[in-house]
Amino acid sequence: MNLFIPGPVEVRPELLEQMSRPMIGHRTERFSELYESVVQGLQRLTHTGNRVFVSTSSSTGLMEGSVRNAGSPVLNLVNGAFGKRWHEITLKNGVDADALEFPVGEPVDPDTVQEMLGERSYSAVTMVHNESSTGVLNPLEVAEVVPDDTLFLLDTVSSMGGVDVDVDSLGVDVCLFGTQKCMGLPPGLSFASLSEDALDRSENVEPRGYYFSYGSFCRYDEKRQTISTPNIPLMYALDRQLEYIHDEEGMDARFRRHARMMDMTHSWARGNGFDIYPREGYESRTVTCIENTRGVNIDEAIVKLRDRGYLISNGYGELKGETFRVGHMGDRRPEELEELLGVMDEVFREAT
Ligand SMILES: Cc1ncc(COP(=O)(O)O)c(C=O)c1O
């Protein structure tokens, strides 16, 4: 099946091969070399000098970890399903939290955030950069309105590796993402850059658990090791992928390729009588959310595409049927997307 969903994504065969390399012990020098190499590659990708937490969990784990270590109260910015999930996670961990909600399809508005921050003092603010559920790319200018003594926690799960995010210039305290989206790898590992402020704040938070505790992470990071047994096969693949991104494709070319695939998908949608769901100027470059303005049966179209070997996604949650999504992230090439869009032409031409 050809995956054009917003993760997991197709994985290049050479990366899958890396995952079948012989196992090594995670308390060995060889492992520490691998750890060092992936951390350096991730720091370069995210433009940070901060420590990077390599976690054997999906990104939801690090979302949970980030609010367990952040103190209280927390302000969760919500304009879609993943922002909402972060608010739920925050509350379920017993942290006092407010949600600042924006209409779905609309971006987070920095001025409204600033107003809210003037009303109450927060220990941390969370924001999802690329809302995969609505295809909205939220403005990173929000970072500028977060006061110095408030941590800014950013989910870049479906943007990092496809869109440039300069963690240190923006002053992002925790920037988290995982392997199975724009990084072009199978699921199983996630990462979080942690600023000194985020680490300091966490020292006074109790209880903050064990698996995602920044204190435990730092103790092992000093030794260039992980808290518990990590997903070593995926670390091999990640190491190779970071080398590919930095030394072969190049970060800028990678970001341009993602933007080009967004343009191609927008042209297809407009050419086939559909609109783009998010507000203009805030469209995701990695997953396009198309508004079903023609009112066609999306489930049926998805099944027809599946029968021809291609998988795209219906709208998320309440947007099912009203929208549908095409993921164009990771190592997907424009030529491959062209092929999908050709098949979509045929399927949607006859869709009712
Ligand atoms: C924006 C965003 N945040 C968080 C997640 C959760 O990631 P995971 O499923 O890897 O835990 C997803 C997954 O689709 C996502 O798109």
Predicted pLDDT at 65 = 98
The span from the CA of 218 to the CA of 260, in Å, is 39
Distance from the alpha carbon of residue 157 to the mean position of ligand 1, in angstroms: 6
Banded pLDDT at 350 (limits 50, 70, 90): confident
The span from the CA of 230 to the CA of 234, in Å, is 9
Predicted pLDDT at 189 = 98
Predicted pLDDT at 16 = 98
Predicted pLDDT at 205 = 96
Cα atoms in the 13 Å half-sphere on the side-chain side of 182: 29
Dihedral (Cα; 65, 70, 72, 76), 10-degree rounding: -70
Look-up: residue for tokens 């050419």? 271
Distance from the alpha carbon of residue 58 to the mean position of ligand 1, in angstroms: 8
pLDDT at 138 over 90: yes
Distance from the alpha carbon of residue 187 to the mean position of ligand 1, in angstroms: 11
Q: Tell me which of 82, 108, 212 to substitute to probe ligand 1's pocket, judged by most ligand atoms within 8 Å of the beta carbon.
A: 82
Identify the burial level of 4 via C-beta atoms within 10 angstroms of its C-beta, where 0-12 means exposed, 13-18 middle and 19 or more buried. buried
Report helix angle 29-46 to 232-243, nearest 10. Answer: 50
Query: How many CB atoms sit inside 10 A of residue 23's CB?
Result: 8
- Domains within the chain, CATH numbers bracketed: 14-248 (3.40.640.10), 251-349 (3.90.1150.10)
Distance from the alpha carbon of residue 318 to the mean position of ligand 1, in angstroms: 17
Predicted pLDDT at 10 = 96
CB 63 within 8 A of CB 175: no
Query: For residue 80, what are its two tokens?
Result: 């879609």
pLDDT tens digits for range 188-202 = 999 999 999 999 999
Predicted pLDDT at 351 = 82
pLDDT tens digits for range 270-290 = 999 999 999 999 999 999 999
pLDDT tens digits for range 234-265 = 999 999 999 999 999 999 999 999 999 999 99
Of ligand 1's listed atoms, the one at least distance from the Cα of 61 is 11
pLDDT at 107 over 90: yes
In the 3-class helix/strand/coil scheme, how is 252-286 assigned residue by residue?
Answer: HHHHHHHHHHHHHHHHHHHHCCCEECCCCCCECCC
Mean pLDDT of the chain: 97
pLDDT at 230 over 90: yes
136 lines ligand 1 (CB under 6 A): no
User: Residues 6 or more apart from 165 whose CB is under 8 A from it?
Assistant: 46, 47, 129, 140, 154, 156, 159, 172, 175
pLDDT at 186 over 90: yes
Predicted pLDDT at 228 = 97
pLDDT tens digits for range 146-181 = 999 999 999 999 999 999 999 999 999 999 999 999
